[in-house]
Structure 1
Amino acid sequence: MQKGNIRTVFYSFLIALSFVLSVFQPSAYSNSEGQEVFYIPVEQEVERGLGAFLERGIETAVESGADHIVLEINTPGGLVDAAGEIASLVRNSPLPITAYVVHEAMSAGAYIALNADDIVMKPGTQMGSAQVIDGSGTAAEDKMHSSWLATMENSAELNDRDPIYARAMADSTVDLPKYRAGEGNLLTLKAGEAFEVGYAEAIAEDRKELLEYLGLEGAEEREMEVTFAEQLARFVTNPVVIPILLSIGSIGLVLELYSPGFGVPGIMGASSLILYFAGHLIAGFAGWETFILFALGIVLLGIEILVPGFGIFGLLGAGSLIGSMVLASFSTVNIIISIMIAAVLTIIVSILFFKYVGYRGPLKHVVLTDSTKSELGYVSSETRSELVGQVGTVLTPLRPAGAALFGEERLDVVSEGGYIEQGKKVKVVSTSGSRIVVREVKDEQND
């Protein structure tokens, strides 16, 4: 072979080798160049507002073209039904999701983490203690408890985790002495223990170590921030806050009707009700139809107050108000209880207000508050108390009513019950209004 041909073949080989090496050469950023990780915080109590926030977060991550979602979990737990909806969002996400426990994932938080594709924990964090608690603070009934145990076990099995540990988190009768879940104690796994039993795929000190585990070292990091509106929605949709808002709203508006002008009670009442509906609207539980229905209820109640309607407008108005609140709520049972609490408090406060303050507002011109009291000069019949003890003569037989003469004054009297003949002496024993009661004087005292 000629020297020129040999040189050409050699150069061709070098070019081909360079190309192959450039393609297959390992690089720390080769798998993550141009990729994006989306962080979504899961903080505070698990409730419906958090579910709405996470739904928006996942949608935003998908629309932005993110490659991975990380849920940074720090929650003591919360509502089971809200956790169920969030877990469904996590399972059905089109993007892979990693649950990163940055402090604690307790109760409903542990359940949410189990539905993620991976669980990574910071050193010193914990996860578990997921027993269902009812509204009174005690363990739920057997039927609900059994269903929750099955739900926890199914979530663990989604990613081939041993379900016994998920069951021990919710059932204190499961005996796992090595991990402090003996009789009467729910299982709570520390980071190292979770890694040991396969409930955490890795332990990462910070986001950098987390991305190294995920193989996304060079990925762009984006963080989902909770807006003020979403913070407000999470606050006002809390089951504890709802009855407080409704109570302030109803008490404020009722007191405003009996107070001059539009002042503090009206502002507080209107603001509380606006917060209730606005928060549920932002959280995705209510639509504008609830505002329309509520406004209709206010109008109907106003008509009932100003125009006699035999209670029809009042009933329709009250029904519209209650209906709008129920439609805006995420739980019918919770809102009914909240309305009942608000109604009782409003009645009590109103009675006290009317008793010690009285009518001073717009209803002063509608409600009749005057009464015919004797102190104001209204006397239906005068009581002749000065007659008690006087002696007179019967003018007509008393059967038992008749007439008697006292001095020069003829009066209608009534005996204590017996018959008294004409001409007998009688003595006034009591008077009450126009009623004068007499008793016959003994014979030895008669003329």
Structure 2
Amino acid sequence: MRKEPLLLLILIALILAPSVQGAKKVVYVAKVEGTITEYTADQFQRYIDIAERNNAEALIIELNTPGGLGDAMMRIVSEIQNSSVPVIIYVYPRGAIAASAGTYIAMGSHLIAMAPATSIGACEPILGYSQNGSIVRAPEKIRNFYTAYMRSLAEESGRNTTAAVKFVTEDLSLTPEEALKAHVIEVVADDVPDLLRKANGMRTKLPVKGKGYVVLDFTDVQVRHIGNSISDVLISYLSNPAIAYILLNVGILGLIFGFLTPGWHVPETVGAILLVLGVVGLGYFGYNTAGVILIILAMIFFIAEALTPTFGLFTVAGVASFIMGSLLLFGKGGGSIYLINRETFSMLRIAIIVLAVLLGLFFLFGMTAVVRARRRKPETGKEEMIGAVGKVVEDLDPEGVVKVRGELWKAVSKTGEIIRVGETVKVTGMRGLTLIVEKAEGDAEWQE
């Protein structure tokens, strides 16, 4: 009888063991790299949702970005500050940066950590880049707005307001040691385990939604990494300006080939898919609508050249529209200011020139081929066979077989006379697939 209570306790312990293990504290780690776009904001939202659903102790974002879109940045800051889980921005790995929009995101987080040999800052707002690659600064009104926004983030988190403002007004950048000394960040850590060890027991710089200020407890926590989804990998490629640009143009060309060669359906199907992917990619970092219109106009010129040859007039117009549209695509203000940096635009210019030359050559030679094809007489049919000369290979009595232009034809003698093998005949007409022939004159040339 005494064994029954003991067995019952063991049974209860076994039942509760999984739930006890499941209640272990968890810290999620996710990675964000590259330009800040609207999709980056979607990534942050997804990572925060995962951490909240699993009641995580904290969410660590390993950040490495040169900056990006202001609207996306402010959306990310809002998502962080409305998170019910502490969000720690960790500038990682070594050599990583949190520049421009990345600095705002860090300043809006509950805790900031940096790995050695990283940097933070350089937040001066810009409109884009000029044709020679120099930065086009934003007007005073915009600069004042972002200065006030950075100041408010610093004041709310109790971080160094003076240094934060200099990030914007003087393009200040700081190393991890400088940022820690200036009270801009809270931790310098070599890796995630080192970060958890050093941040353990720290109080968040901002209140966590529904919990207020939280003292971080990273004692005996389980670290779970959030991997990239298929859409993350796909968008990382699509949001590359060069890739998005090429997809856009190849997609349009696919549609053109499909329309000019009806019945196959493959070019227009593939073209439509690539066109949509290109537009999606362009949408993540912004583009000039005028550029898209000019590129579409160029394709219309190319189609017109293929359908109604103008000896190069539409081809020249198409190439000119294509180049201007491509240059305007990533710019604003009439194309004097560009939305992407000089390195990226230099790469794009090469792609633009190569595509323009290939398109010009293709439609130029394609147009010539079309003109020749339209001028050439048909090589088959009744009209072409009339007057052709051949030889008899089977006596015409009055029907037989003749060889004309290397092909054997059933033939009948026009006059009814017998025409022997080897004699030369001339086609005078056709009745269905039967040639009507007569003996050729002596000087008629037989066509082998």
How many angstroms does 1:117 deviate by? 0.8
Q: Do 2:28 and 2:51's aligned partners in 1 also have CA atoms closer than 8 Å? A: yes
Tell whether 2:128 aligns with 1:119.
Answer: no
Partner of 1:76: 66
- 1:236 is aligned with what amino acid? L
Specify which of 227, 235, 246 is matched with residue 229 of structure 2: 227
Partner of 1:108: 101
- 2:225 is aligned with what amino acid? E
| 3-state SS of 1:158 partner | helix
How many angstroms does 1:241 deviate by? 4.7
Larger-Rg structure: 1
How many angstroms does 1:112 deviate by? 0.6
Output one character per residue of 1:367-423: Cα deviation in whole Å (capped at 9) or x when no partner.
xx96899xxxxxxxxxxxxxxxxxxxxxxxxxxxxxxxxxxxxxxxxxxxxxxxxxx
- 1:357 is aligned with what amino acid? G
Partner of 1:65: 55
Instruction: Give the count of matched residue pairs.
Output: 274
Residues 330 and 52 of structure 1, relative CA distance in 2, 3 Å threshold: same
Trace 1:337-416 onto structure 2 (pairs within 5 A): 337-347=290-300, 349-350=302-303, 351=315, 352=360, 353-358=362-367
- 1:122 is aligned with what amino acid? A
Trace 1:29-108 onto structure 2 (pairs within 5 A): 34-102=24-92, 103-108=96-101
| Cα distance in 2 between the residues matched to 1:125 and 1:217 | 27
How many angstroms does 1:216 deviate by? 0.4
| 3-state SS of 1:169 partner | helix
Residues 260 and 223 of structure 1, relative CA distance in 2, 3 Å threshold: same
Specify which of 242, 247, 250 is matched with residue 249 of structure 2: 247
Q: Do 1:239 and 1:334's aligned partners in 2 also have CA atoms closer than 8 Å? A: no
Which region of structure 1 is more displaced relative to structure 2, 255-264 or 190-199? Answer: 255-264
- 1:204 is aligned with what amino acid? A
Q: Do 1:35 and 1:66's aligned partners in 2 also have CA atoms closer than 8 Å? A: yes
Partner of 2:153: 155
| 3-state SS of 2:128 partner | coil
Tell whether 2:128 aligns with 1:135.
Answer: yes
Tell whether 2:196 aligns with 1:211.
Answer: yes
Q: Do 1:126 and 1:188's aligned partners in 2 also have CA atoms closer than 8 Å? A: yes
How many angstroms does 1:261 deviate by? 5.6
Specify which of 331, 336, 344 is matched with residue 289 of structure 2: 336
Q: Do 1:250 and 1:342's aligned partners in 2 also have CA atoms closer than 8 Å? A: no
- 1:154 is aligned with what amino acid? S
Tell whether 2:173 aligns with 1:188.
Answer: yes
| Cα distance in 1 between the residues matched to 2:175 and 2:144 | 25
How many angstroms does 1:236 deviate by? 2.1
TM-score scaled by length of structure 2: 0.55
| Cα distance in 1 between the residues matched to 2:159 and 2:241 | 33
| 3-state SS of 2:29 partner | strand
| 3-state SS of 1:150 partner | helix
Can you give the 5+ residue segments of structure 2 that lack an aligned partner in the other structure?
1-22, 130-134, 201-216, 304-314, 316-359, 378-448
- 1:227 is aligned with what amino acid? S
| 3-state SS of 1:65 partner | coil
Residues 36 and 134 of structure 1, relative CA distance in 2, 3 Å threshold: same
| Cα distance in 2 between the residues matched to 1:204 and 1:330 | 32
Residues 335 and 248 of structure 1, relative CA distance in 2, 3 Å threshold: farther
Residues 220 and 189 of structure 1, relative CA distance in 2, 3 Å threshold: same
How many angstroms does 1:92 deviate by? 1.1
How many angstroms does 1:133 deviate by? 2.1
| Cα distance in 2 between the residues matched to 1:118 and 1:81 | 22
| 3-state SS of 2:136 partner | coil
Partner of 1:431: none
| 3-state SS of 2:59 partner | strand
Output one character per residue of 1:32-56: Cα deviation in whole Å (capped at 9) or x when no partner.
x821101121211111121111111
Q: Do 1:249 and 1:271's aligned partners in 2 also have CA atoms closer than 8 Å? A: yes
| Cα distance in 2 between the residues matched to 1:69 and 1:238 | 27
Can you give the 5+ residue segments of structure 1 that lack an aligned partner in the other structure?
1-32, 173-185, 281-324, 374-447
Residues 107 and 131 of structure 1, relative CA distance in 2, 3 Å threshold: same
How many angstroms does 1:237 deviate by? 4.0
| 3-state SS of 2:287 partner | helix
Residues 99 and 269 of structure 1, relative CA distance in 2, 3 Å threshold: same
RMSD in angstroms over aligned alpha carbons? 3.3
Specify which of 134, 146, 164 is matched with residue 166 of structure 1: 164
- 1:82 is aligned with what amino acid? A
| Cα distance in 2 between the residues matched to 1:210 and 1:89 | 23
| 3-state SS of 1:135 partner | strand
| Cα distance in 2 between the residues matched to 1:149 and 1:127 | 16
| Cα distance in 1 between the residues matched to 2:191 and 2:239 | 32
| Cα distance in 2 between the residues matched to 1:372 and 1:248 | 32
Partner of 1:405: none
- 1:245 is aligned with what amino acid? L
How many angstroms does 1:196 deviate by? 0.6
**Percent of residue pairs bearing the same amino acid type:** 28
Residues 347 and 143 of structure 1, relative CA distance in 2, 3 Å threshold: farther
- 2:124 is aligned with what amino acid? Q
| Cα distance in 2 between the residues matched to 1:203 and 1:141 | 35
| 3-state SS of 1:273 partner | helix
| Cα distance in 2 between the residues matched to 1:162 and 1:341 | 48
